[in-house]
Structure 1
């Protein structure tokens, strides 16, 4: 067989029981006709600066509603919280640059880093965390995970039960200081705050529509560029991430 220099020849092998081959012929033909080489710069990005992965995509990008890894892996790139886990699974600062724990182990005072911004450029304040925590615990949100990860905070159970409109244990001291009080000393409390119900969300974004999370305004290292459900999900670098 002779081919022109630079030509690439591919063979596609399909294995099937002889009785099933005729039934599958149309699907096989469709597969073969769809075969094509990847663009040198898919979506205008060089391959050296991109990572392509096969995945079915998220079910939701709402941090308060996600309960499975399928959504969580994307949410963690788009949103962030007070603290996070390092590669050794130790709790380390994220939006909070440091924190102080009271002598009785129940009051955590978080000091937020200045200059942390949502993807649209608005600076994150302590009041955004208060809003986010209370929104996650609002019965109307119907979060499947808020009770698991946030119920150690004073007043969360009452809010989840519809008995309160605010969380007593969450106080805004100033724009960059947030105090969270829990019901008893618990060594694992900070680790719980690394889960998505504790992530900060933008109130204007959330209140823009029922499916606001299809155009999320997060604080994470990546922002959503394009999402074609069950086909394509593109995250791009957040240039103002810090």
Structure 2
């Protein structure tokens, strides 16, 4: 049950940092804040922060090249050194970074970004619009072999032609530089969410001279330059650690921490041991341990990651909406979260996750309630209605039902067993598990289910935000012809297909709507309609659980778990 583009092991991710002037403790689920006594700031020589990266293959980062990064560890490291035209703030809102401002043309296709004055790379070299154009074009060049840029930069006009080798560059066409301080990016369609897509690390700006000098080894020389982020690399010892120090040429307020060290660990047990010995400032919690959640250094943070199940609208019996609703309402999500996941996930009825712009707090399940324990009476009634509409007399007349999922990963075998048991108990329906050990095999079968009544009947997956915008969770999953619309929402012959197509059109209009409030309202309505139609059966929102010392202050925790560059100016160590 993974994002089809990248397997984000978020249990190892670090928290975001935010602007705080006093030491605070956050009520992560209630929204409250507890103010503690002001503590004395440690002297500059003690302004250090030491954190782990756990479970890396070969105990090393996969890459420090922004165009190539797709794993969380690499992206975290890249965020220290590089930045882009825009980035997310600690509330996951798109904010200017290298860009001072931007605007979009009346036709919604031309995006003009005005750079901040006097930008420099960390070696002091001026950073201009030509560097922006080079970096974005480089990410899409076939020779770069980025797996992320074709997704995050897919809206650029002629991006497909560049990837296919039909053109040699986008510079001068969809990437324009009218002067040193201005970049114009031209998209192939109207997309109000385009700036959110530019927060991907593949859009970050790199220094061309360093790449030309060292070619494919250029990231081993980041101490000489390369990026314009808040830090630069002081020392990278492969298979051991990486040390960052402040970038003295950073365009905004400089970091207060004078050294940030990331140490590579084989296991969470090793990192936890060093945390207990005060050698780390943060650690994940080994699965073998139970830690008191009331402890002052304990955090559990909802991530932009949802696990869900879905059904093929073209395959019987799930071509009937009432049968889909019956299956959804027979599930006790709270019980699964408590017994299978031991409280490490949050049960949910949502598609758009908690902690993201566009989240609808009062969204309901298909029964019109916010209950997470199911609705047995309603589920049984809907099943009977669905059977009648399908000319069946009882649940034993249903065709054989198979549930496909990735086996052997975390607790998903146990979750599927619990679901099957609940469907049998509530609905009297037998569901056969179809465990698939190879993730790519499952994805191939899911893709082959598009427009295919003989494809998979029901399957489980997870989705992790590619960019924190409702478009990524709604239009990109359920839109007309969307790559992920493998459940065939709106592309079926049911009596509800016409209404589904109306919802698809509403989402398409929202995608292009630059009035933010109206756009979000349209997405929220679409989400409720899709939940009622059981486009997904959302089960849980994944959380990140970790310990962090109270000696480091200025911290907030959000669902992307990446550190906004400007927040470092407000993060510091206090005296013990």
Is TM > 0.5 for Structure 1 vs Structure 2?
Answer: yes
Residue 219 of structure 2 corresponds to residue 213 of structure 1: yes
The residue number in structure 2 matching 1:53 is 51
1:239: how far off? 1.4
Residue 171 of structure 2 corresponds to residue 173 of structure 1: no
The residue number in structure 2 matching 1:230 is 239
* Distance (whole Å) between structure 1 residues aligned to residue 177 and residue 231 of structure 2: 28
The residue number in structure 1 matching 2:69 is 66
User: The residue matched to 1:72 in structure 2 has which SS?
Assistant: helix
The residue number in structure 1 matching 2:201 is 196
Change in Cα spacing, 1:110 to 1:226, as seen in structure 2 (3 Å) is same
TM-score normalised to structure 2 length: 0.34
RMSD between aligned alpha carbons? Answer: 1.4
* Distance (whole Å) between structure 2 residues aligned to residue 52 and residue 81 of structure 1: 25
User: The residue matched to 1:208 in structure 2 has which SS?
Assistant: helix
Deviations 1:21-61 (A, max 9, x none): xxxxxxxxxxxxxxxxxxxxxxxx96631101122552110
2:158 equivalent among 155, 158, 162: 155
Deviations 1:160-206 (A, max 9, x none): 11111111211011000010010111121101101111111111111
Q: Structure 1: state its 5+ residue gaps.
A: 1-44
* Distance (whole Å) between structure 1 residues aligned to residue 52 and residue 84 of structure 2: 27
Structure 1 window deviating more from structure 2 (92-101 vs 205-214): it is 205-214
Deviations 1:58-77 (A, max 9, x none): 21100011111010001011
User: The residue matched to 2:49 in structure 1 has which SS?
Assistant: coil
User: The residue matched to 2:80 in structure 1 has which SS?
Assistant: helix
2:117 equivalent among 114, 118, 121: 114
Q: Structure 2: state its 5+ residue gaps.
A: 1-42, 54-58, 252-576
The residue number in structure 2 matching 1:98 is 101
User: The residue matched to 2:100 in structure 1 has which SS?
Assistant: strand
* Distance (whole Å) between structure 1 residues aligned to residue 44 and residue 177 of structure 2: 44
1:208: how far off? 1.7
* Distance (whole Å) between structure 2 residues aligned to residue 236 and residue 135 of structure 1: 27
TM-score normalised to structure 1 length: 0.79
Moved over 3 A (4+): none
The residue number in structure 2 matching 1:29 is none
2:148 equivalent among 145, 151, 154: 145
User: The residue matched to 1:53 in structure 2 has which SS?
Assistant: strand
Deviations 1:110-141 (A, max 9, x none): 00011111011011100111111111111111
